[in-house]
Amino acid sequence: AQSVAQPEDQVNVAEGNPLTVKCTYSVSGNPYLFWYVQYPNRGLQFLLKYITGDNLVKGSYGFEAEFNKSQTSFHLKKPSALVSDSALYFCAVRFLTGGGNKLTFGTGTQLKVEL
């Protein structure tokens, strides 16, 4: 079965410090991996994706993610956190189903950036 795990329910970080939100996956074949962010009472916003190529992927709002095949991980990172980054972050993996495709999401990690 294909799955995504986000081991931390919440991550706290001080503004200006680097942040990491962890994600590990289990999928047969080559994974397509995504990060989304959700602000209160809003839908999900796309941050970045890994399909193939460079293991370090750069996305929106200064976020980046590192694909590590040997560790089956796709951690989200940002060199300097902002208070406005406080939100709910979801990692997702895409796989085909019945000719279509779907995203399987992790349970989410609440990021809290404090002054």
Partner 1 sequence: ETGVTQSPTHLIKTRGQQVTLRCSSQSGHNTVSWYQQALGQGPQFIFQYYREEENGRGNFPPRFSGLQFPNYSSELNVNALELDDSALYLCASSADRGRGYEQYFGPGTRLTVT
Name the strand (E) or helix (H) holding 64.
strand 64-68
**Selected binder of partner 1 within 29, 40, 43, 53 (CB under 8 A):** 43
Quick one: 1 or 115, whose CB is closer to partner 1?
A: 1
Based on the shown chain and the rule CB under 8 A, indicate whether residue 73 belongs to the binding site for partner 1: no
Contact 108, 8 (CB under 8 A): no
> Could you identify the residue written with the tokens 């959700």?
38
Reduced to 3 states (helix: H, G, I; strand: E, B; else coil), residue 81 is coil
- Residue 69, classified by CB atoms within 10 Å of its CB into exposed (0-12), middle (13-18) or buried (19+), is exposed
Provide the minimum distance between the beta carbon of 63 and partner 1 in the complex, in angstroms, as a whole number: 14
103 sits near partner 1 (criterion: CB under 8 A)? yes
Pattern 20-39, partner 1, x by CB under 8 A: ------------x-x-x---
- What is the contact surface with partner 1 in residues (CB under 8 A)? 32, 34, 36, 41-46, 49, 51, 90, 92, 94, 96-108
